[in-house]
Amino acid sequence: MRAVIFGASGLLGRSVMRAFGDMAVTGTAFSRGAGALVAVDATSADAIAGLLGRVRPDVVVSCVGERRPAVWAGAPDRARAVNVDAARLIAEGARRCGARLVHISSDYVFDGTAPPYRPGSAPNPLNAYGRWKLLAEHAVRAACPDAVILRLPVLYGPVRFAAETNLTEIARQVASGAPVELDDVCVRYPTHADEAAEVCRRLAGALLQGQYLGSVVHWSAEQGLTKYGMALLIARRFRLPADHVRAGDADAAAGDRPVDCRLDCQNLPAALGPVRRRLFDIEFPPAVEPWLMPTGPATGRRKDPS
Ligand SMILES: NC(=O)c1ccc[n+]([C@@H]2O[C@H](COP(=O)([O-])OP(=O)(O)OC[C@H]3O[C@@H](n4cnc5c(N)ncnc54)[C@H](OP(=O)(O)O)[C@@H]3O)[C@@H](O)[C@H]2O)c1
């Protein structure tokens, strides 16, 4: 079996590459095209067609996206192209070459006012990123009707730069000792990228066996935490002072961040078999520990992209 993972240089894509290690897997990157990854601009139909024509994959996973507010606020056209146009073009490419498609979407398609959200719950995104992810879902469904859209909450895992996850940014704020206010209203469900990647692999396997799973599925960790709650856990685990960290409501007050997007994913474990649940309390320390020093890890350190 052959798989193509678009966005394989990103946080989730790196985990998905590992999870598909039992297949002949080709990963793509855009700006981080080092090593074995193939450089592909997913906003180019020709680039996508060229790769898919060469590899002829059985399954495609689309992990391309731009979710960092600092980037989408500064370059909205580019961010829209990466979130919406790329999703459509990858879906068109997958359908043309007869591959099954798993497309990654986000809990931000919901407004966070009425959790838990089932796959059929009405979306109502509050910000540009959520609107783009929803437009991408529509485009994927139109271009590749048998694709499966996997909605995920905020992810964490081994990172290459501190701003790659909220969690590592929060760890840096706790470790710095500088006064900071962190939102204690909006609840997130931080899910390990490797767990999400395992779900992707199981979904792909089920699709290749012809199982029908519905066009939208949800996966999420069960433990809900605010940013402030994550900061306290980090401080407690690493015996760091936390008196410089204040509880606030900035994200909720801004009005463009959903308060609680808990995803109902009850139907999925039955369809996929047992997926290894990674408990936040156990998994977060190794993810944040290298980033508690002001300089970050000694090796593999990368300047945070703006
Ligand atoms: N991280 C989360 O908390 C989270 C939560 C829910 C859903 N999601 C969704 O999950 C997916 C993966 O997220 P992530 O956190 O892994 O994102 P990420 O770390 O920012 O990675 C994004 C990937 O997209 C690639 N990319 C960007 N522009 C591209 C272009 N023009 N052509 C081709 N590839 C391009 C990047 O390549 P380069 O880095 O090489 O440029 C990278 O591989 C996204 O769809 C995101 O919306 C993420």
Find the CATH number of the domain harbouring 74. Answer: 3.40.50.720
Mean pLDDT (whole number) for 233-255: 95
Predicted confidence at residue 35, as pLDDT, reads: 83
| Domain ranges, residue 66 | 2-161+191-223+262-278
On whether residue 152 sits in a domain, the answer given is yes
Residue 254 tokens read as: 């801004």
Pick the more confident residue, 251 or 269. 251
**67 part of a folded domain:** yes
In a domain, 48, yes or no: yes
The mean per-residue pLDDT over the stretch 68-77 comes to 81
Q: What is the pLDDT of residues 187-232, one digit of tens each?
A: 999 999 999 999 999 999 999 999 988 899 999 999 999 999 999 9
pLDDT given at position 213: 87
- For residues 13-45, b (16+ Cβ closer than 10 Å) or e, as one string? bbbbbebbeebebbbbbbebeeeebbebbbbee
Mean pLDDT of the 241-251 span? 96
Q: Residue 197 is encoded by which pair of tokens?
A: 């990647």
Residue 268 covered by a domain? yes
Residue-wise pLDDT for 145-176, tens only, equals: 999 999 999 999 999 998 899 999 999 999 99
How many residues are present in the chain? 306
Measured CA to CA in angstroms, residue 297 lies from 50, 144, 159, 198, 293 at distances of: 38, 42, 10, 27, 7
| 26-50 tens-digit pLDDT | 999 999 876 899 999 999 999 999 9
Domain count across the chain: 1
Residue nearest to atom 47 of ligand 1 (CA): 65
Mean pLDDT score of the chain: 93
Residue 132 has pLDDT above 70, yes or no: yes
CA 68 to ligand 1 center in whole angstroms: 9
For 270-280, write each residue's pLDDT tens digit. Answer: 888 888 899 99
pLDDT for res 249: 95
In this prediction, residues 48-57 reach a mean pLDDT of 98
Residue 305: inside a domain, yes or no? no
In a domain, residue 303? The reply is no
Q: In the structure, which protein residues have their CB atom closer than 6 angstroms to any atom of ligand 1?
A: 7, 9-13, 29-32, 40-43, 63-67, 82, 86, 104, 106, 152, 154-155
Give a yes or no: residue 92 inside a domain: yes
Give mean pLDDT, residues 6-10: 97
Residues 6+ apart with CB under 8 A from 155: 11, 12, 165, 190, 191, 192, 193, 196
303, pLDDT greater than 70: no
Ligand 1 center from residue 65 Cα (angstroms): 4
| 54: its two tokens | 């060469």
Confidence tier at 305 by pLDDT (50, 70, 90):
very low
pLDDT of 296 reads 67
Return the ligand 1 atom nearest residue 62 CA.
Answer: 45
The tokens for 214 are: 């519905």
Q: Is residue 271 part of a domain?
A: yes
- pLDDT tens digits for 95-120? 999 999 999 999 999 999 999 999 99
Q: Which atom of ligand 1 is nearest to the CA of 42?
A: 32
